[in-house]
């Protein structure tokens, strides 16, 4: 695993690798790990009852129930996997907190993988740490840390996919298995991104085209086919899910972008105001971002080679921000991918190739252990008391008989999604529908 390091750290590369890795993770950890109490409202309850549904289907060994769970999912199908690592417990009230642990650890792994890709792609360690500091200092990212939503998953998927561009540019490959493994990495990113949000389709098209061109130009035609084969194999889960259920995902995405936009949009928000809000929410992150911008521009002025390819990740993420600002649904959460990816893309400040210093398994395993230890206390984060009360109410109403419950309210803690979550946890004899 190559890494460019400051001069003083080069004399002890092993220590430097550990320091850089944990400094990066330390900077971004406040945007991943959060122990504050968390109420389960509409979207959060929706994602959790999808996770409970999938858990109960899998551990009851019912393929028909698995397909029913996916058929009833209209967004973020990847969240259905969060209850599976915990066995049958993931389908109980105790599994709600464990889903937060799984999500936190999953995002931590994505951040770790992004760091490793940056190092392999020759991103200078100083620039990378400045980018991590910018992420950690962004107030909005800290506010949404650990939420039972897919925005942070999307954000790190976007960052990782964009940083595959410097990896391809600086690490050309011509052999078969390295090319296939690189393609499997592409496929993994597609799986996580496109199964988190339909929005990732924008990046699949734009980044995918750039990756294909860069790999063909610097690695050759045959290595391009190696990577494509690995990518298709790696992205098979996402391809199959989308072939079967993609129409449902697209219908809901269109509905959210048009008919449901007033529910999520900020009243009176204009496209210009959306840009202004993005910059105003950066807070102290503007300081490391300004340093990165200066270093990035300096690198472009000094090195004429590779100017266009270094500008491409910035251009892609700015294009996404432009599309988000022009859409009818200007939800502030749509800026999360920009807040995570932009600082790291600005970290590609020069074309210095990565050194041959290898990242040993020990620091990677240590980082996974630390991430697990940090994520475990998130089990106590969700406030499940309202869900338990709803479940008890439904059981009382049903009195053990199949019952249809008509819900005539849409409160924050008592709505069709929280009732559906209570139904999933309470038993199949309850059927809820909104009125």
pLDDT digits (tens, 9 = 90+) for 92-101: 888 899 999 9
List of residues 6+ apart from 294 with CB closer than 8 A: none
State the pLDDT at residue 171.
86
* pLDDT tens-digit readout, 42-76: 888 899 989 999 999 999 898 988 998 998 888 98
Taking the C-alpha atoms of residue 346 and residue 311, their distance in angstroms, rounded to an integer, is 9
Taking the C-alpha atoms of residue 118 and residue 195, their distance in angstroms, rounded to an integer, is 24
Closest residue by Cα to residue 1 from 306, 267, 279, 360: 360
Contact between residue 369 and residue 22 where contact means Cβ atoms under 8 Å apart = no
Region 73-85: what's the mean pLDDT? 91
Give the pLDDT band of residue 1 (cuts 50, 70, 90): very low
Taking the C-alpha atoms of residue 21 and residue 28, their distance in angstroms, rounded to an integer, is 11
State the pLDDT at residue 103.
95
Region 412-416: what's the mean pLDDT? 74
Q: How far is CA 201 from CA 153, 161, 205, in A?
A: 14, 12, 6
Taking the C-alpha atoms of residue 389 and residue 421, their distance in angstroms, rounded to an integer, is 12
Q: Is residue 374 pLDDT above 90, yes or no?
A: yes
Q: Which two tokens stand for residue 346?
A: 């600005």
Q: Is residue 89 pLDDT above 60, yes or no?
A: yes
Q: Which two tokens stand for residue 325?
A: 């600002």
The position carrying tokens 């999360």 is 336
- Verdict on whether the full-model pTM lies above 0.85: yes
Q: What percent of the chain has pLDDT over 70?
A: 88
Rounded to the nearest 5 degrees, what angle is found at the Cα of 413, between the Cα atoms of 407 and 414?
10
For the chain, the straight-line distance linking the first and the last C-alpha, in angstroms and rounded, comes to 57
Region 83-103: what's the mean pLDDT? 92
Q: Which two tokens stand for residue 178?
A: 């390295």
Taking the C-alpha atoms of residue 390 and residue 385, their distance in angstroms, rounded to an integer, is 9
State the pLDDT at residue 368.
95
Give the pLDDT band of residue 258 (cuts 50, 70, 90): confident
Taking the C-alpha atoms of residue 161 and residue 203, their distance in angstroms, rounded to an integer, is 8
Taking the C-alpha atoms of residue 189 and residue 123, their distance in angstroms, rounded to an integer, is 19
Closest residue by Cα to residue 152 from 292, 34, 302, 23: 34
Q: Is residue 145 pLDDT above 80, yes or no?
A: yes
Look at 226-230, 262-266, 271-275, 354-358 and tell me which has the smallest mean pLDDT.
Answer: 354-358
- 213 burial class (0-12, 13-18, 19+ CB within 10 angstroms)? middle
State the pLDDT at residue 434.
46
Q: Which sequence spans correspond to the domains of the chain?
A: 7-380, 386-434
State the pLDDT at residue 435.
44
Crossing angle between the packed helical segments 151-162 and 200-218, to the nearest 10 degrees: 20
- 401 burial class (0-12, 13-18, 19+ CB within 10 angstroms)? exposed
Give the pLDDT band of residue 305 (cuts 50, 70, 90): confident
Q: Is residue 202 pLDDT above 80, yes or no?
A: yes
State the pLDDT at residue 429.
45
Rounded to the nearest 5 degrees, what angle is found at the Cα of 338, between the Cα atoms of 332 and 340?
110
């Amino acid at each position: 695993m190559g890494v460019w390091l400051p001069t003083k750290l080069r004399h002890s590369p092993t220590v430097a690798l550990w320091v850089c890795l944990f400094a990066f993770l330390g900077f971004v950890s406040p945007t991943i790990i959060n122990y504050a109490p968390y109420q389960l409202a509409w979207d959060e309850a929706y994602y959790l009852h999808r996770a409970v549904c999938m858990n109960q289907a899998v551990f009851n060994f019912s393929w028909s129930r698995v397909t029913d769970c996916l058929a009833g999912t209209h967004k973020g199908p990847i969240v259905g996997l969060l209850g599976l690592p915990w066995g049958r417990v993931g389908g109980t009230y105790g599994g709600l907190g464990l889903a937060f642990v799984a999500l936190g650890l999953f995002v931590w792994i994505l951040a770790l993988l992004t760091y490793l890709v940056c190092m392999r792609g020759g991103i200078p360690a100083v620039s990378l740490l400045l980018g991590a500091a910018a992420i950690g200092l962004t107030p909005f990212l800290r506010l949404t840390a650990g939420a039972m939503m897919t925005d942070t998953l999307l954000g790190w998927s976007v960052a990782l996919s964009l940083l595959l561009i410097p990896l391809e540019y600086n690490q050309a490959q011509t052999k078969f298995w390295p090319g296939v493994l690189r393609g499997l990495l592409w496929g993994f990113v597609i799986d996580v991104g496109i199964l988190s949000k339909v929005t990732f389709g924008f990046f699949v098209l734009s980044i995918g085209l750039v990756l294909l061109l860069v790999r063909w130009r610097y690695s050759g035609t045959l290595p391009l086919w190696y990577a494509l084969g690995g990518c298709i194999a790696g992205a098979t889960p996402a391809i199959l899910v989308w072939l079967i259920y993609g129409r449902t995902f697209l219908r809901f995405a269109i509905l959210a972008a048009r008919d449901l936009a007033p529910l999520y949009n900020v009243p009176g928000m204009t496209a210009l105001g959306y840009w202004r809000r993005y910059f105003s929410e950066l807070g102290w992150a503007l300081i490391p971002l300004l340093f990165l911008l200066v270093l990035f521009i300096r690198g472009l002025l000094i090195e004429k080679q590779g100017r266009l390819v270094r500008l491409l990740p910035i251009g892609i993420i700015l294009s996404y921000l432009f599309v988000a600002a022009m859409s009818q649904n200007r939800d502030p959460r749509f800026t999360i991918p920009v807040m995570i990816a932009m600082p790291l893309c600005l970290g590609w400040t020069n074309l210095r190739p990565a050194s041959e210093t290898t990242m040993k398994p020990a620091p990677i395993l240590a980082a996974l252990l630390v991430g697990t230890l940090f994520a475990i206390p998130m089990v106590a984060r969700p406030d499940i008391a309202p869900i338990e009360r709803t479940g008890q109410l439904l059981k009382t109403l049903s009195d053990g008989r199949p019952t249809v419950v008509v819900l005539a309210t849409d409160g924050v803690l008592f709505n069709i999604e929280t009732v559906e979550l209570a139904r999933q946890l309470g038993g199949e004899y309850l059927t809820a529908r909104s009125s």
